[in-house]
Structure 1
Amino acid sequence: MNTADLGLPVDVPSTALFTDHYELTMLQAALKAGTAERRSVFEVFTRRLPEGRRYGVVAGTGRVLDAVENFRFDPGVLGFLRERSVVNAETLDWLAGYRFSGDVWGYQEGEVYFPGSPIMRVEGTFAECVLLETVILSILNHDSAIAAAASRMSSAAGERPLIEMGARRTHELAAVAASRAAYVGGFTSTSDLAAGFRYGIPTVGTSAHAFTLLHDRERDAFQAQVDSLGRNTTLLVDTYDVAEAVRTAVEIAGPELGAVRIDSGDLLLVAHRVRQQLDELGASDTRIIVTSDLDEYAIASMAAAPVDAYGVGTQLVTGSGHPTCSMVYKLVARAESADPTDPLVPVAKKSSGGKTSIGGRKWAARRLDEHGVAEAEVVGTGPVPEELQERQLLVQLIRDGQVLSRESLDVVRERHVAARANLPLSATQLSRGEAVIPTEYV
């Protein structure tokens, strides 16, 4: 796999520098102390959901697998570390041969999660696992935040399709990842061609206000677009007077006009007026697409409006107010020596301030009620109860450093739909509340 597949600039040879300085200094100190090769278990989890959210969405797993596979300290990276004196020569020698050779387990991408859910578990030596902390967290925190916002918007939209249009509202590389995460969460297409190229997401787009303003008359702009793209195109009708624009659009394209887009004003009111006007003009099959700083609340408010699709940008790519999931990557168990047969000892941070952790290598399962609806997230460190054996959530993603399989985004999307459908109905409420099911520790 090349770096373009990861959304990286072509001159970045690996993902090895997507890390924090202190991870390398910890490595150096552990190598000197003789503790670097102790078998260790790190887990990714969040202590709480973003305020008001009822569930989280696991997204970015596929990108994590790519990042781990491409985590290599090539000569250019090693030269940078040597020049900056980040680590000593012995550590540079160790890094030159770095290849992750451990195991990774995780919730499947598209699954939902809750506070304390061990959504990813990384096992290997301390040295090889600690280096992956930042790249794993940066991917999962970003992508899961976007997917959660997308899921809420998808739920609010019902059967109406959602278009991701946020590329110009975020970093150019984050935009590609955001489009992928939005697709996982329920969006159907994107305006970002890089996302379409890398991930096969359907792309859409026609014109902006600049195209209308380029021409001497709105009529000329509409005619040029129809001549080029056909009658099934989408015409932007709110550059000047909406009613006049709709009338002109139907005159030029006829009742076969594909859609009109409204990007300003009172969208609810304007959509009703445009729908009535289109029907009176005989364009009853022409769809109405609305854009303009939408979020899940605005989408929900238009549930009864004659709208056929929504385009969402800023609020989506910023997580609709929650741009991160506050996931952490914590050491939860380690051996007492470098002997690979040594048993694992649970470890955990015990300081005050709400940042305590639970030690031990964990499993997770979702208990269902008699109707097949989720009623609890069960997390434990001992034997898995027999009644939960078939409900376990962690699957192996990497074995001995080798990625076991990769899934298509369509499979991931379908998984999310099924996972959300298995939650209590209150999961889709937009009103603020706690996690829709509790996390129980056994």
Structure 2
Amino acid sequence: MFDIVSPDEIREGRATDAYFDRTVTTLEDADRDPYVVAEVCADQFPTGAFELFAGVKDAANLFSSTTVDIDALCEGQLFDGGPVMRIEGRYTEFARLETSLLGFLSHASGIATRALRARRAAPDVQLLSFGARHVHPSLAAVVERSALIAGFDGFSHVAAGEILGRESSGTMPHALIICFGPNEQEEAWEAFDAAVGDDIPRIALCDTYSDETDEVLRAARTIDLDGVRLDTPSSRRGDFRHIAREVRWKLDTEGYEDVDIFLSGGLGAAELRELRDVADGFGIGGYVSNANPVDFALDLVEIEGEPATKRGKLSGPKDVYRTSDGDHCVLPAGTPSPAESESLLEPLVRDGEIVREFSIDASATRALRDAERVGFEAD
């Protein structure tokens, strides 16, 4: 019914590029299937531009029925050049999986990196991912998981919440207010308050028909509010910072100091830096979900124990380290490690068995800690 490649087709290697099919056919016909080492990299050498590694859980599951061994960075680790993953085994065992593998890692890592920029731009307020509407529905859980790994506090997508074991967030759109009509905002807020469970925050959308300060005070007088959300379109927004400050002033002077202010609508890292001191939280959409994928590539670097690769790539297996001063170091495998450094490649799959557990919370803790360590910023 929908243009979606099924999980079975992905695991069976049918979600692949045609030339991998033809390569496997050729190697089988020639009775050739070398034992190889392959590496996944975005850049050969460190460039100073760190990115956040994500998509590892899906990648591990992709190889769970093979006989290969895989080492990889941990999910939530920042990287800068060199391999993020190393695969060892017979080439035909994983040749057809390359396309899906790179898709899993590239898309999730791009989203997570952009989400981490948002988190670093506004480190002390609540961030919710509202961007699932900008991507194919089959990717919603990828978007939300990647945002959580970067330190977001929640997300809006219901089905993604069921997959990830998290409760989705969000209260009302403009459509709810419009369904009640102009000058009937109070009726809409009261209907919402009466209909939803006590566990749902009472956060009223307050910019549908009239001035933000007007609707905010009307909402506060109508129901027992936890917060208000302003989602004024950019075409009518003016000085969003001034609007938020005015709303805060009005709420405080009317005795509603405990009502939080949430902002949403086309916000990115620059806007978060500007507004983070006048808001209690943000809903972030396309800035995160529309992030460019990381340009990962998979290359063979060793054939039957001998270094080998194509022109322009670095042959032989490599190790990567986080040095004591926060740098990313890439060295030939077997080279003595830098003093007081941390090796980043760890076992992920052994003979087709996943040997690592996955925790979103642990990944988020790792990402935020590593961001501090390497000086990752929002720019």
Deviations along 1:249-280, whole A, 9 cap, x unmatched? 11112xx4101000012421211111111111
Match for residue 309 of structure 2 among 348, 355, 358 = 348
Match of 1:385 among 312, 320, 336: 336
For residues 132 and 379 of structure 1, the distance between their equivalents in structure 2, rounded to whole angstroms, comes to 26
Name the residue aligned to 1:318: 290
- Between the aligned partners of 2:361 and 2:213, the Cα distance in structure 1 is 39
Partner of 2:299: 330
- The match for 2:74 among 83, 108, 129 is 108
Q: Residue 251 of structure 1: which of 221, 225, 235 is its match?
A: 221
* Deviations 1:116-136 (CA, angstroms, capped at 9, x unpaired): x21001110011132221111
In the alignment, does 2:57 pair up with 1:62? Answer: yes
The alpha carbon displacement at 1:389 in A equals 7.7
Unaligned regions of 5+ residues in structure 2, if any?
none
Q: State the aligned residue count.
A: 366
What amino acid is aligned across from residue 270 of structure 1 in structure 2? I
Q: Is the 8 A contact 1:8 1:173 kept in 2?
A: no
What are the superposed Cα offsets for residues 203-250 of structure 1, whole Å, 9 maximum, x if unpaired?
111110110011141111011112223594110001011222112111
Cα distance change, pair 211–144 in 1 and its aligned pair in 2 (3 A)? same
Q: Is the 8 A contact 2:323 2:340 kept in 1?
A: no
Task: Report deviation, 1:9.
Answer: 5.3
Structure 1 moving runs of 4+ over 3 Å: 7-15, 229-232, 386-390
The CA distance in 1 between the partners of 2:44 and 2:120, in whole Å, is: 22
Residue type of the alignment partner of 2:319: W
Preserved CA contact (<8 Å) 1:180 1:201: no
State whether residues 9 and 15 of structure 2, in contact with CA within 8 Å, keep that contact through their aligned partners in structure 1. no
Taking only aligned residues, the RMSD between alpha carbons, in angstroms, comes to 2.2
CA contact (8 A) 2:269 2:378 kept: no
Whether contact under 8 Å (2:264, 2:283) holds in the other structure is: yes
Q: How does 1:168-207 map to 2 (within 5 A)?
A: 168-207=133-172
Change (3 A) 1:382 1:251: closer
Deviations 1:367-424 (A, max 9, x none): 22xxxx31x3222224231545851110010011111122211111111111112113
Contact 2:118 2:378 in 1 (8 A): no
Determine the structure 2 residue equivalent to 1:268.
241
Worse-superposed segment, 55-64 or 231-240: 231-240
TM-score (norm 2): 0.91
Report whether the alignment pairs 1:296 with 2:269: yes
Name the CA distance, whole Å, in 1 between partners of 2:347 and 2:335: 17
Q: 1:130 to 1:10 in 2, by over 3 A?
A: closer
Gaps of 5+ in 1: 1-6, 70-98, 336-343, 351-355, 431-442
Q: Contact between 1:366 and 1:388, CA under 8 Å: does it hold in 2?
A: no
Mapped to 2, the partners of 1:40 and 1:283 lie a distance apart of: 65
Equivalence map 1:46-85=2 (5 Å): 46-47=42-43, 54-69=49-64
Please point out which of 220, 223, 245 is paired with 2:187.
220
- Equivalent position SS for 1:29: helix
C-alpha separation in 2, matches of 1:153 and 1:269:
21
How is 1:121-160 mapped onto 2 (pairs within 5 angstroms)? Answer: 121-160=86-125
Cα pair 2:302 2:316 within 8 Å, conserved: yes
- The alpha-carbon deviation at position 296 of structure 1 amounts to 1.0
